[in-house]
Structures are given as C-alpha cells and as structure tokens.
C-alpha cells in the first residue's frame, strides 16, 4: 500500500479532472468541426442565399442533405476555396 499526503492526492485528482475535461472538449470539437450547417458555410464564403443555392445546384461544392437540412464538409469548402484562389501576378 502506498500512502500519499491529502494535499498531493487532491492536486493530482484536480489535474486528472482538468485533463479529462480537455480530452472530452477536444473529442467533441473534432467531431463537430468537420461538418458545417448550410447557413454557416454560406456565411464563411460570404455569399448570398441565392448564390449558395446556385453552387449547390451546379454541384460546385459537395454537400449532404438529411430532410431539409444541408451539411457541408469543412475540407470540401477548403478545397473549393483553394481551387478558386487567385495568385500573385
């Protein structure tokens, strides 16, 4: 059996709690940040709802639709932006 002073045990316990919270937040953040709702994607691109509809109609950016909700993968938005990048002269 190992005896640890109460203060050290409490400190270790608090550090483990903080570490657990950080891991949980990271896991939640990584799963949620991969997919954006349609409105958020449109705002990131800075385009009107009509332009966003045209992009989807023309299949310029891949999307998923569940019922009436539309989701866009962040990586697909990045690819779209890179492909429309205008370089230096």
Element spanning 70, H or E: strand 69-73
pLDDT attached to residue 29: 59
Q: Which fold has domain 7-83?
A: Arc Repressor Mutant, subunit A (1.10.10)
Sorting pLDDT into bands at 50, 70 and 90, what band is 27? Answer: low
Q: pLDDT tens digits, residue range 42-69?
A: 999 999 999 999 999 999 999 999 999 9
Q: What is the DSSP string of 12-60?
A: HHHHHHHHHHHHHHHHHHHHHHTEEEHHHHHHHHT--HHHHHHHHHTTS
Q: Give the Cα separation of 38 and 71 in Å (integer).
A: 5
Q: pLDDT tens digits, residue range 1-24?
A: 888 899 998 998 898 888 888 887
Domain residue spans in the chain? Answer: 7-83
């Amino acid at each position: 059996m190992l005896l640890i002073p109460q203060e050290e045990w409490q400190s270790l316990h608090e550090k483990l709690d903080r570490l657990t919270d950080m891991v949980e937040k990271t896991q939640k953040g990584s799963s949620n940040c991969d997919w954006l709702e349609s409105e958020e994607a449109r705002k990131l691109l800075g385009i009107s709802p009509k332009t966003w509809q045209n992009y989807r109609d023309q299949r310029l950016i891949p999307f998923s639709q569940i019922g009436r909700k539309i989701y866009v993968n962040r990586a697909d938005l990045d690819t779209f932006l890179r492909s429309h990048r205008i370089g230096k002269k």
